Structure 1
Amino acid sequence: MYMSDDNKPIGWWLKEVDRRLEASFERLLADDGLTRRQWQALNVAARQTPIAAALAPFLSGDTAELAAVVDPLVERGWLAGDKLTADGERALQALTTKVQAQRRGVTRGITEDEYQATVDVLRRMAANLA
C-alpha cells in the first residue's frame, strides 16, 4: 500500500531525515577524508568533552569502532588524546565553514522558531519514551 508523504508517521520522517543527514555529511566531508563521526569528535574535543562519552549514542560501544574514528585524527596530528591540537583547531575552523553552509541548506525555509519548536517536541517525545 502506498502512503503519501502527508500520511507518513513521525518515525518514518525521523529515519528519513537521519539517513539523508548521514549521507549529506559523508559527501560533504569526503574530500577532506573525514567521516561525520570524526567531525563530531573534533567538535567534542574543542569543547573539552570526553570523545568516547559524547559519541557513545552513535557507536556500538566497541572500542575498535571508537578507535576507527579517533586514530586517524591522532595520526593527522589533530588530536592528542581527547584534546584538539593547534593543527586540529585550524582544521576544525576550515571544516566549520563548510558544515555551517551545509546546515543552512538543510534548514532553508525553516525559521529559527520552527527549528527550536521541532527540537523541543523531539526532546519531549524522547523523554516520554525514556
Structure 2
Amino acid sequence: MTDRPITWWVKHVDQLIEESFDRVLAGEGIGRKHWRVLNALAGGVATLPELDRALAPFREAGPDLTVVLEQLVSRGWARRSASRLSLTQTGAGARERLVKAIAGHRWRVTEGIDERSLRATVATLRQIAGNLAVGR
C-alpha cells in the first residue's frame, strides 16, 4: 500500500473520516444535515429563511431541509413557533452529547500523531489545495 499516490491516500482517508463521522451521528439516530441544523439553531439561526441560507452549501446533500427540521421537531429537539425556530432543552442536550462524541472522534482521527507531524501534514495539504486552486 505504500506505493499508492497521494491522491489515493487523500480519497481513502476522506472516505474513512466521512464514514466514521456518520457512525458518530448515527449513535443519536441522526444524519449530517440534522447535525448542521442543530448547530445552526445553537448558533442563533432563528427563521427558516436564515436556516436555508446557513445550509445553502449543503443543499444537495441529504434529505430536504424542511424534512430534517420536522424530524428534529418531532423528536422534541427543535421547536417551531410562528416563524421562529429554536433548540429545545432536549435538543441542546443531544447536541452537547454529540459535541463530546465528535471531539472524541476528532481525537481518535489524530491519535498517535505528534503536533509537529500534524501541522506539517495540514501545511502540505493546504499547499496542495493552493496549487490546485491556481488557474481554476
- Normalised by the size of structure 1, how large is the TM-score? 0.69
Are the counterparts in 2 of residues 22 and 36 from structure 1 also a CA contact under 8 Å? Answer: no
For residue 114 of structure 1, what is the amino acid of its counterpart? S
Aligned-residue offset at 1:33: 0.9
Partner of 2:70: 71
Bigger proportion of residues as helix = 1
* Conservation of the 8 A alpha-carbon contact between 1:78 and 1:86: yes
1:1-130 equivalence runs, <5 A: 5-48=1-44, 50-60=50-60, 65-80=64-79, 83-128=86-131, 129=133, 130=136
Identity %: 39
Over 3 Å counting, the alpha-carbon distance change for 1:126 and 1:108 in structure 2 is same
Instruction: Flag the 1:48–1:126 CA change in 2: closer, same or farther, 3 A.
Output: farther
| Greater Cα radius of gyration, structure 1 or 2 | 2
Structure 1 residue runs of 5 or longer lacking an equivalent are none
Moved more, 32-41 or 98-107: 32-41
Gaps of 5+ in 2: none
1:115 partner letter: L
Q: What value does the CA root-mean-square deviation take over the aligned residues?
A: 3.0
SS in 2 for 1:8: coil
Q: Higher RCO, 1 or 2 (CA under 8 Å, sep at least 6)?
A: 2
Aligned length: 125
- For 2:101 and 2:6, how far apart are their aligned partners in 1? 29
